[in-house]
Structure 1
Amino acid sequence: MINIKNQLLEVCYNYYPIDIDSIKDKKIYLDTNEYKRLISEINIHKVKNNEKFITELNSIAEKYSYELNDKTYFEWLDRCYTYELIRKVNDYFILVKLYKSILKPLYFIEQFKIVELDNNRVEYMDIELEEDIFFLEKLRFFCERKGFFEFDKKLKNFQVININFDDIEMGKFTFFNAFFNSQ
């Protein structure tokens, strides 16, 4: 695990300046080579055609009665492609989020049960439903066949204390933020 953390940190330090606060020292931060490298990578993916991946992913989603929505927002400086796959089950929805990093060949999957409490409120429950084990395994197999490795869930909230980005405070920036988005 230590070796994986070190590898991830090495990639982070390539795209995020060390010990320069993006909030307090914004002008200096925006002028760093690391930040410029990150923006360049994001801009490459803004225009990259990802249609084949989406078509294949949609084919898998349809087989399991999921609707696919592309929620990728590179204009918000996300560091990943984001796909939401959703289906209705009785009186709730199952939402599967697939994140595909642009900085390192990593993917991350989250699953939620969404229950409508009333007309204006929704409750999200982070779960893994047994009924979707085959679907989730199919997603993992698909991503790995495309050359991506699953991002370890235990590392999601690991804080990288000497870097930050956008409006995330120094010391609160996580591996998930670095490789995927600022959620």
Structure 2
Amino acid sequence: MSAPTLRHSVRSGSPEETHELGMRLGRLLQPGDFVGLVGDLGAGKTHLVRGVAEGAGVERSQVASPTFAIVYPYQGRLTLYHADLYRLADYDELYATGFLDMVGGDGALLVEWLDRIPEAAPREYLRLTLREVGEESRELVAEAWGARPVGLLTDWLLAER
């Protein structure tokens, strides 16, 4: 994989801050956007995902973990596909789910555990890596490949709050 076009890190001091970062990202998502999430259990991915969904106009009560369904669609101001690759063994197993038909499609795609099957990502995408840096503090490293993901990252983390 080539080096990202743009890389930026931000620190979150609490689960609420992580949720708010997600909401800001969710407000910016457009159909065709692909966001991959990487991080250990407890790194804050769930708080971020719930925020993204809320920012995309999804009812809070609709957001659940798609671990067993692999992909779960949410309807807000756009369709947000929430995928979880944790239980999949390899790319062939992912291919059999029909997941690849959603990439670049009519909605935005938010993919947890992308590091388990990195070849699932398209050429242009945004990858967010979360890691614990304290009991409630997290570091979020955002890396963008391609023009649209760079614009998304710029509008999300680098623009005026």
TM-score, normalising length from structure 2?
Answer: 0.25
TM-score, normalising length from structure 1?
Answer: 0.23
Higher helix proportion:
1
Higher strand proportion:
2
Structure possessing the higher radius of gyration over alpha carbons: 1
